[in-house]
Structures are given as C-alpha cells and as structure tokens.
Structure 1
Amino acid sequence: MRIKLLPLMFTTLLAGCTVGPDYVKPSLPAASTWHQQDALDHRVAEAPAPGLEAWWHGFDDPELSTIIGRVLEQNLDLAASAARVQQASAAAQHAHADRLPEGSLDANAARLRQSERSPLGKLASATPNYDRNQTYEDAGVGASWELDLAGGLRRGDEAANAAWQAAEATHAGVRITLAAEAADAYFRVRGAQARIAIANEQIQNEQGLVDLVRLRFLHGLGTEREVAQSEALLLQAQGTVPPLQAELDTQLNRLDVLMGAAPGTYAREIASAPAGFHIPSVAGAGGPASLLRRRPDVIAAERTLAASNARIGVALAQYYPQVSLSGLLGFASLDSGKLFTGSALQSQGALGLHWRLFDFGRVDAEVKQARGANAEALATYRGSMLKATEDVENAIVALTQLEAQHAVLENEVAAHTRARDAAQDAYKGGAVSLLEVLDEDRQLLASRDLLARVRADDARAAVSAFRALGGGWDVPADKVADVSR
C-alpha cells in the first residue's frame, strides 16, 4: 500500500501543497442571555455598571484603585507571565525564520608547522622546495534553504503563532486573576475592620451594662448571678476580636505580597484609609456568547486547539521527503597574501534529500499522538466554555442573593436595636429581668456582625462577577477579530 502511495506523494510534492487539516474554529452553542439576566437589568436600571476593562473604579474607592494599580505594575507573578509571553513570541519568530533561507559568512586563518613523520609530511617532504611552515586561509559565504514542499514548516509556523496567542491570553488571565484577588483581599480587610469596630462598640456597651449590674448589686437590687451573666457576655464580646484581628492582618499581608512588596509595607496606609465604598451594578450584556472574546482562559483554550491542529500537519509532513538547496562561494589558499585571487576562488552547490522512508512506524505514532492531542484540546476548549458560563451564573446568583440578604439584615439590625434599647430601659425601671437584656444584646451583636460580613461578601460577589465575565483587561480589536473568526 505504501508503494502505491509513492506516486501520490511525488504529485503532492510537485504541487507544493500543505498537508494536514486547515483549522476551522469550532462553533460552540451559547445562550443569548443569562438565567439571572432580569436581576442584573434591574440593578443596571438603578445605576449604570462600570466598564469591564477597569471595573474596580466602579466601587468609588480611591484606595482600592491605588492597590490594583500597584498590583498590575509590581506583581511578580504578572512579570513572570509577561516573560513567558516573550518566550512564546521568540519561539514564533524562530518558527517563521525556519521557513526562510539561511546565510552565513565564515573565515579562517591558521598557521601550522607540518610533521615530516606524518603520512602527508613524508610525501610532501620529498618534493623540491618543501616548507614545513604553512599558512592556510579561507573565507566564504554559504546559504541553504529547505524547500517546504509538504508544508511542514508552514504548519510549524502556524502552531508557534497560535501558541504565542495562547500565551498572550493566559497573561491577560493572570492580570484578571490578580486584580480580582487584590479586590477580594481588600474587601475582606474592610469586612474585618467593620466587624472589629462593631465588636469594640459592643464591648463598650457590655462594659456599661456590667457597671450598671454591679451598682445595682451593691445597692441590693441585683444578684451575684446577674453580675456573672453580664461579665460572661462582656467576655464573649471580647473573645470575638482576636480572630477578626488575625483575619485583618492576614489579608493585609496578602495585599502586600500581591503588590510585590514585603508584608507590612502598605499595611498601615491601607488600614488607615477611609473605608467608604459602594457596590456597583454588573452588566451582563452579550450573554454567554461574549465569553468567547472576553474570557482569556476560553481564548487560550481555542488558540491551543488551533496550535494542536497545525501540529497534525507537522507530523504528516514527515511522510514526505525533505528537500534542501545549499551553496557556497568563497576563497581558499595555502599561500599567504593570495587569498582573494582568481586561482583561490572556489564554489559549491548541493541538492539535499532526507526521507524517513523506513521509519513510517514512528511517523504513524507521531501522527496518532498529534491527533490525540488535538482531540484533547477540543474537549478542553468546550469544557472551558462550560466552566466559564457556570462561573458567571454562580457569581450572579451569589450577588443577587447576598443583596437580598443585605436588605433584610439592615431591617433586622434596626429592629434588634430598638428591642435592646427598650429592654435596657425596662431593666433600669425593674420591669424586666437582666436575662432579657442579655438576650437582646446577644441577638443585636450577632445581627450587626452578620450585616458587616454580608456587606463585605456582597462586594466580593461583585468582584467575582466581574472576574467571571472576563473583566480587567482591554481586548485589542485585532485579537477580537482573531478569536471570533
């Protein structure tokens, strides 16, 4: 069968075709809207959503914008990612250069004293005017070119360029991830600060209650049990501070490292900055289809698929002979000072042929491996789109539900505050027992702490939504065209 294929191979070579399948971007089905689109539209109607390119400005928090700016300028993971893009660019440049002719300039000069005992020396020493001291000089220009008749080099060029584009998309993904991580850590800092402030305020209130109960006990209006109960509630409030302080310090350290600095560098600045922010709307315009051009992981997966498709052609090209042309034009002389003369001129031309004629078993395996890698890349690409869609849907659900919980908790805190104040007034008048006051204090502390935590989580959910939508980088127009075809 292989013998019958020989005429077809030679016909293909003469036609100068490119073997392997031409890449066609797979069509992935995508819904036109998100399942929770109505919730997003309702919020956008109340306040416009910030642009995805720099969504962090939508929180109206100068400190957050400063932090993310530092992260994008100073983060070491981002610098390492940029270096990987440079390496991929160099590899693509090298693959393109492989398709072009190669040229070289070589020159050499050597002074030697020949042995009279060597085979050449014995023959030469018998000639008249033999001189053991000799000078050899040569200079020449050479060129070679592999004729890419089967298109293997062209496919290699395509693969390297697609890999470069995948590296660029991955770099954008690192940028998105770092911006989102910095914002997440920042809102955890603000959440911890708010909860610590609530705990300290509660500690002051509990201390006042302890003083009141002790005073009543001294005047015979209270019991020792009431004193112990009020002191226990005070200690309970004080016990909530250390873990919150640990959370605060840990996230400040995380921010410093994200900004490429040693822990403690920016901690004081961040902790002392005003903590005002508002949670912006999130626009899901374009629906899941927009992820094909905005999500760097989806773009990188598609470019990796394109590269694997081209590598099938690289492997198939090994079935065909490789033909190369080379030439040399130069001068060589044993007489010093007579190098660039007509008698020293020399030239050479060569036609090279390399064919893995008896190695088709290995080539079969290489082709099978390339096709398997392409099938894997296709599954990965489809999976990346599904995962991206899931990320957005989950982020929208978390955002909308946390906002609903936040509204309920605000009313709950207001109700507990009124109940606690009424209970304290009633206790001072002897109408209720201390147990009722302590119970109202516990409920108020729990609801205020939960409200502060949910507010921070609500901001973090917005960050997750922006991240899931592929926000945090400018999509170049030419890259949009590349990944949309």
Structure 2
Amino acid sequence: MNNRYLTPLALLSLAWLSACTPTRVGDQVALNSPATWQHASNAKATDAVDLKTWWQGFNDPLLNELIDKALAANHDLKIATARVREANAMVTVAEAALYPSLDFSLSGGREKRIDRIVGVPSGQGIKLITPTADAVSGGLAARWEIDLFGGRHLEAEAAASQAEGSKEGLHAAQVGLLAQVATNYMELRGVQQRTGILQSNIALQRERLRTLQVFAKAGLANEADLARQQTLLQGTEATLPQLTNVGQKLVHRLAVLLGEPPESLEKRLVAAGPLPKQEPAMPKLLPADLLAQRPDLRLAQTEVSAAAASLGSARADLYPKLVLSVSGGVGALAVGGFPSLADSVYALGSGFSAPIFNAGRIRAHITVADARLDQVAANYEKIFLLALEDVENAFVAHRSATDSFGQLTEAEASAENAYRLLDALYQRGARDYLAVLDAQRSKLAASDERAKAETAVSVATVSLYRAFGGGWTVDSSVSAIENASAR
C-alpha cells in the first residue's frame, strides 16, 4: 500500500482508539460493608470532629509540639515522600511512550581508501588509491507507535495508579506516625504518674517498717512481722527500676520518631507531667466511610486499578502494532581540492507487525497479570475486613478501659475515704498507727490501678483514631511533597 494512504489510516485508527479500548479491564471490587458498628463507643459521636488534627482534642501543648516536630523530621515520612517523587517520575516515563520520539544525529569524518585489484594477466595486483575525502552528515528522525489497542495508555494508567498508591503509602505512614507519637507520649505520662505513686508507696513501706521496729522493741511486734514488712518493702522498691526503665525507653522511642538522637528528649521529658484530662470527641463514621478515610484501603484500591490496567496492557500485545517513521537530513562530501558536494535526503515509512508464534509468551504474561489482579483484589477485601476488625477492637478496648477507669476511680475514692476515717480514729486513739498505714497503702494501690486504667483510656482513644485513619489531608501531603522536591 502506498505510504500516502497509511498516514490517514493511522490517524483514523487513532481516532477509533480514543473512543474505545478493547483490552480495558474493570477494577471494581464488591465489598460487603456492614451498616453500623457492633461495638460502637457509648460516647456521643459528632460530625464536628476534625480527623486530620484529632490529637489537638487532648488539649496538650507539648503533645502538639512533639507531633509537629515528627511531621517535619521523621525519617519514615522522608522515605515515603521520596517514593512519591520516584513514582511521579515513572508516570512521566510511561506517558512518554504515547508520543512521537524525535532524535537528532550528526556525524563526520575523513577517509582514504586503498583498494587492490588482483587477477590481472601480469599476475601483479594493482593498487587504487582514492583521494582523501571529508564527509559530514546530520538530520532528524521521528518515530511514533500508534497505540491502536490501548496498551500504552493502559501502561500509563498503571503507572499513574502506582503513583497514587505511593501517595497513600505516605498518608499511611503519617497516620501510623501520629498514633505512635501520641501512644508513646500517653504511656510515658502514665508511667511517670505511676512512678510518683510508687515512690509514695515506698516511703510508706519504710515508715511502716520503722513503726514495726519501734513496736518490736516495745514487745508489740515479733520478728516475723518485721521480716514480712522487709520483704514487702524490697519487692516494692524492686518495681521502681523497672518503671524507670520503661519510661526511659519511651523517651528514646519518641526521640527517634521525631528524627532526633535517642537522648535528645530526656531533659525535656524527664519532668513528670499529668495525662491529658481532655479527650477528643468520638468521630461519627460508618463502616463504609473507611474506604475513603483509611490510607491502607485507598492504597489497596490503587493496587487493584494498577493490576487491572497491567492486565489490559498485557492483552493488547495479542493485537497488531503500527509504527510511523520519518527522517530527513543533509550531507556534504569534499574530495581533495574539489568543491564539496551537498545533498539532502528524507524518508517516510510505516511498519505493521502482528504476533504469530511466540511459544506462549504473550499468553503467559496475560496469565501472570490476571493472577496478579486476583491477588490484589483478594488483598483489598482482606484489608477491608482487617480495617473493620481494627475499629471494632478499638471500640471494645476503649469501652473496656473507660468502664475500668470509672470503677477504679470509685475504688480509689473509697480507699481514700477509708484512710481518712481510720486516720480520724487514730487521732482519737481508737485505732493503731499500723492500721492507718495499711489503709494508706490500699489507697496508693488503688491509685496505681486507676492510673493504669486512665492511661489505657487515652491509648485506646489514640488507637480508635488510628483505626479510623485520622491524621492526614491531601493538601498537607502535597505540600510536604513539594517542599521535599524543592530541597
């Protein structure tokens, strides 16, 4: 067929392609989402909760400062941001295949040929020496593979989906980071509160031992009483290094999350501080809302889209390919002292290829891509179920911690009341001093349990917001990417 007919045919084929891509594969996965939560918190949910800055609901300035530093310097976020930049660049690489390529070439050189002609009657070869020649040539060459069946477009779609997935990976890293910082901070405050209670308990145990020693001298206590109290004191004192160790590890973990050396926060956080007295309100989200809010689910969806596009691209290899090419240039040749000779050339061509036999390679690639799509679709369903489990478990943990905290708060109040009553009786001489010390020890034990439950409530609240996927926004993520690119 004449070349002048191939170009209109290619343009007509391209127009047909824009209207239909026969190899495209659907990327929708049906998910069975429940209508409501089974173990929703008793706390009243509200639509006014700002999920992207949920930690500010604790109203703790130091926690806010730590999270701001983590968002600015955490290394996991830096790695995730670099992956976003890498994936965006790969989209450009994939999309470049949709357009013609244009190359420029330039070459030149000098040559002198010596040819020997043999077989002449005299039996001697004849040397032919050509004059020295200078040659220069240059030109442009263009090539364009017409995407008749959408294979290149689908490859670009797969790369774009992977780039979106890298952004969701950044969001997921941010959600996890915020939860880790808040959790470690709450646990640190809880440990510090328990350490203060333990130190008071140790002082009380020492006072009780001193009192028993005085009683023993007066014949009111025996050696067994002293031994039991000594054992109780030593066991209580042995708990203090353990709590100190836990607190130091939490400080070190916070420093690493903030992108700093482990010891950098010790001076800042060594002073004991209270747990936040205020908690964020419960967000009003339905199970189906997780699909748009949780980054891991959004990431799984992009994997399905990328796999579907890759399958369509693999199927497109079964169909013919059409390539258009055009080239043109000029050349100059100068021989000896003669004037140079210049000439211009051009070529316009087209190529058409179709697979006939490839030992099953194309079909195998299609099978691989189809199996990959099945894997990521099943993984999407699995992650959705895990997300539902995550939220339900967070609700259960929050309700359990809240109930325990309420009961232990009442128990602490009862122990405090019992101590005050016994102390009043002791002041009137109606009870002995040891009974007062025992009541005070019971109160401290109740306070310790209450502190653990209070910490559990705060940690459960953080876990609930992490399960909901709170702590990221599209705008903030894009801004972070642009700032990283500028550096």
TM-score class, shorter:
0.7 to 0.9
1:323 alignment counterpart: 322
Q: Residue 26 in 1 paired to residue 29 in 2?
A: yes
**For 1:264, what is the secondary structure of its paired residue?**
helix
AA at the equivalent of 2:197? I
AA at the equivalent of 1:156? E
- Specify whether residues 228 and 286 from structure 1 end up closer, same or farther in structure 2 by C-alpha distance, changes over 3 A only: closer
> What do the CA deviations read for 1:269-291 (whole angstroms, capped 9, x no partner)?
12337435124244342311110
CA distance in structure 2 between the aligned counterparts of 1:308 and 1:82, rounded to whole angstroms:
23
The answer to whether the 8 A contact 2:14-2:147 is kept is no
AA at the equivalent of 2:325? S
CA distance in structure 2 between the aligned counterparts of 1:225 and 1:425, rounded to whole angstroms:
29
The answer to whether the 8 A contact 1:151-1:317 is kept is yes
Q: Residue 296 in 1 paired to residue 299 in 2?
A: no
Q: CA deviation at 1:192?
A: 1.1
The answer to whether the 8 A contact 1:50-1:57 is kept is no
Q: CA deviation at 1:374?
A: 1.1
CA distance in structure 2 between the aligned counterparts of 1:422 and 1:238, rounded to whole angstroms:
28
Q: CA deviation at 1:53?
A: 0.4
- Specify whether residues 38 and 193 from structure 1 end up closer, same or farther in structure 2 by C-alpha distance, changes over 3 A only: closer
The answer to whether the 8 A contact 1:37-1:284 is kept is no
The answer to whether the 8 A contact 2:81-2:170 is kept is yes
Q: CA deviation at 1:333?
A: 2.2
Q: CA deviation at 1:433?
A: 9.3
> What do the CA deviations read for 1:99-124 (whole angstroms, capped 9, x no partner)?
011112222233x45353699xxx99
AA at the equivalent of 2:405? H
The answer to whether the 8 A contact 2:322-2:350 is kept is yes
- Specify whether residues 342 and 311 from structure 1 end up closer, same or farther in structure 2 by C-alpha distance, changes over 3 A only: farther
> What do the CA deviations read for 1:205-238 (whole angstroms, capped 9, x no partner)?
2222222222233334333333333322222221
Q: CA deviation at 1:35?
A: 2.0
Instruction: State TM-score, norm by structure 2.
Output: 0.85
What aligned pairs does 1:449-460 form with structure 2 within 5 A after superposition? 449-460=448-459
- Specify whether residues 231 and 337 from structure 1 end up closer, same or farther in structure 2 by C-alpha distance, changes over 3 A only: farther
The answer to whether the 8 A contact 1:74-1:260 is kept is yes
- Specify whether residues 138 and 469 from structure 1 end up closer, same or farther in structure 2 by C-alpha distance, changes over 3 A only: same
What aligned pairs does 1:203-352 form with structure 2 within 5 A after superposition? 203-272=202-271, 274-335=273-334, 343-352=342-351
**For 1:333, what is the secondary structure of its paired residue?**
strand
Matched residues, percent identical? 28
1:126 alignment counterpart: 128
CA distance in structure 1 between the aligned counterparts of 2:224 and 2:423, rounded to whole angstroms:
18
The answer to whether the 8 A contact 2:41-2:395 is kept is no
- Specify whether residues 274 and 353 from structure 1 end up closer, same or farther in structure 2 by C-alpha distance, changes over 3 A only: same
2:112 alignment counterpart: 114
1:397 alignment counterpart: 396
**For 1:334, what is the secondary structure of its paired residue?**
strand
| Two-structure CA RMSD over aligned residues (Å) | 3.2
2:356 alignment counterpart: 357
CA distance in structure 2 between the aligned counterparts of 1:313 and 1:380, rounded to whole angstroms:
20
CA distance in structure 2 between the aligned counterparts of 1:118 and 1:318, rounded to whole angstroms:
52
What aligned pairs does 1:401-440 form with structure 2 within 5 A after superposition? 401-420=400-419, 422=421, 429=429, 431=431, 434=434, 440=439
1:5 alignment counterpart: none
> What do the CA deviations read for 1:28-50 (whole angstroms, capped 9, x no partner)?
23233322346132xx48xx974
AA at the equivalent of 2:112? Q
**For 1:347, what is the secondary structure of its paired residue?**
strand
Q: CA deviation at 1:365?
A: 1.2
1:7 alignment counterpart: none
Q: CA deviation at 1:320?
A: 1.1
Instruction: State TM-score, norm by structure 1.
Output: 0.85
AA at the equivalent of 1:95? A
The worse-fitting range, judged by mean Cα deviation, of 99-108 and 241-250 is 99-108
- Which stretches in structure 1 are left out of the alignment for 5+ residues? 1-9, 480-485
CA distance in structure 2 between the aligned counterparts of 1:287 and 1:100, rounded to whole angstroms:
45
CA distance in structure 2 between the aligned counterparts of 1:53 and 1:224, rounded to whole angstroms:
62
- Specify whether residues 281 and 197 from structure 1 end up closer, same or farther in structure 2 by C-alpha distance, changes over 3 A only: same
The answer to whether the 8 A contact 1:33-1:286 is kept is no
CA distance in structure 1 between the aligned counterparts of 2:397 and 2:330, rounded to whole angstroms:
78
The answer to whether the 8 A contact 1:282-1:462 is kept is no
The answer to whether the 8 A contact 1:279-1:458 is kept is no
CA distance in structure 2 between the aligned counterparts of 1:411 and 1:422, rounded to whole angstroms:
16
2:4 alignment counterpart: none
Q: CA deviation at 1:427?
A: 7.5
- Specify whether residues 473 and 144 from structure 1 end up closer, same or farther in structure 2 by C-alpha distance, changes over 3 A only: same
**For 2:276, what is the secondary structure of its paired residue?**
coil
Q: CA deviation at 1:136?
A: 2.6
CA distance in structure 1 between the aligned counterparts of 2:155 and 2:86, rounded to whole angstroms:
16
The worse-fitting range, judged by mean Cα deviation, of 344-353 and 198-207 is 344-353
AA at the equivalent of 2:167? E
The answer to whether the 8 A contact 2:213-2:226 is kept is yes
1:145 alignment counterpart: 144
CA distance in structure 1 between the aligned counterparts of 2:242 and 2:136, rounded to whole angstroms:
81
2:153 alignment counterpart: 154
**For 2:374, what is the secondary structure of its paired residue?**
helix
CA distance in structure 2 between the aligned counterparts of 1:331 and 1:118, rounded to whole angstroms:
32
CA distance in structure 2 between the aligned counterparts of 1:287 and 1:158, rounded to whole angstroms:
31
The answer to whether the 8 A contact 1:100-1:145 is kept is yes
- Specify whether residues 442 and 236 from structure 1 end up closer, same or farther in structure 2 by C-alpha distance, changes over 3 A only: farther
**For 1:346, what is the secondary structure of its paired residue?**
strand
Aligned residues: 456
What aligned pairs does 1:347-386 form with structure 2 within 5 A after superposition? 347-359=346-358, 361-386=360-385
CA distance in structure 2 between the aligned counterparts of 1:231 and 1:50, rounded to whole angstroms:
53
- Specify whether residues 203 and 14 from structure 1 end up closer, same or farther in structure 2 by C-alpha distance, changes over 3 A only: closer
- Specify whether residues 231 and 366 from structure 1 end up closer, same or farther in structure 2 by C-alpha distance, changes over 3 A only: same
**For 1:126, what is the secondary structure of its paired residue?**
strand
- Which stretches in structure 2 are left out of the alignment for 5+ residues? 1-9, 118-124, 479-487
> What do the CA deviations read for 1:145-201 (whole angstroms, capped 9, x no partner)?
001011100111111111111111111001100110111111111111111111011
2:7 alignment counterpart: none
1:474 alignment counterpart: 473
**For 1:266, what is the secondary structure of its paired residue?**
helix
- Specify whether residues 118 and 57 from structure 1 end up closer, same or farther in structure 2 by C-alpha distance, changes over 3 A only: farther
AA at the equivalent of 2:266? A
2:482 alignment counterpart: none
